[in-house]
Amino acid sequence: MSSASRLDATFAALSDATRRAILARLASGEASVNELAAPFAMTQPAISKHLKVLERAGLISRGRDAQRRLSRLDAKPLREASQWLAEYRQFWETSFKRLDGLLNELKTTAKKRKRRPNVLSR
């Protein structure tokens, strides 16, 4: 998967409150479907559906043992998504600081122009 489509999958997976709660739960350790379903008023198949979405987005991996399919968090896509957001912020933040400097320069030029209108209008 390209990094752009992986970001899409990550953000889509994160758009659901239940899935975010599942991820927060998994951050403290592996869990079975039963354990994950317990805090929600949801059936096991409904939770399994959410787990499939998270697995496809690469946010979790699931064990092979059919009896107790443990889910565990994979933090890498989250790090990538978080980094993207941080980069977006940083892009604007650093650009705007530069713009502060440029605006000061433009204001000084504008003042000079006002002081010497005859020189510049010629």
Using DSSP's 3-state secondary structure scheme, residue 71 falls into: strand
- Tell the smallest beta-carbon distance from residue 94 to other proteins (Å): 5
Interface with other proteins includes 85 (CB under 8 A)? yes
What tokens appear for 50 in the block?
């959410």
Interface with other proteins includes 39 (CB under 8 A)? no
Interface with other proteins includes 75 (CB under 8 A)? yes
What span, in angstroms and rounded, lies between the C-alpha atoms of 9 and 4? 9
Interface with other proteins includes 81 (CB under 8 A)? yes
Amino acid of residue 51: L
Of the candidates 50, 54, 59, the one whose C-alpha atom is nearest the C-alpha of residue 79 is 59
Q: Please state, as a whole number, how many other Cβ atoms lie within 10 Å of the Cβ of residue 15.
A: 10
Exactly one of 52, 56, 68, 79 binds other proteins (CB under 8 A); which one? 79
Exactly one of 8, 43, 63, 68 binds other proteins (CB under 8 A); which one? 8
Interface with other proteins includes 38 (CB under 8 A)? no
28-56 in b/e form (b: 16+ CB < 10 A) is: eeebbbeebbeeeeeeeeebbebbebbee
Exactly one of 14, 32, 49, 55 binds other proteins (CB under 8 A); which one? 14
Q: Interface with other proteins by CB under 8 A: which residues?
A: 4-5, 7-8, 10-12, 14-17, 20, 23-24, 27-29, 73, 75, 78-79, 81-82, 85, 88-104, 106-107, 110
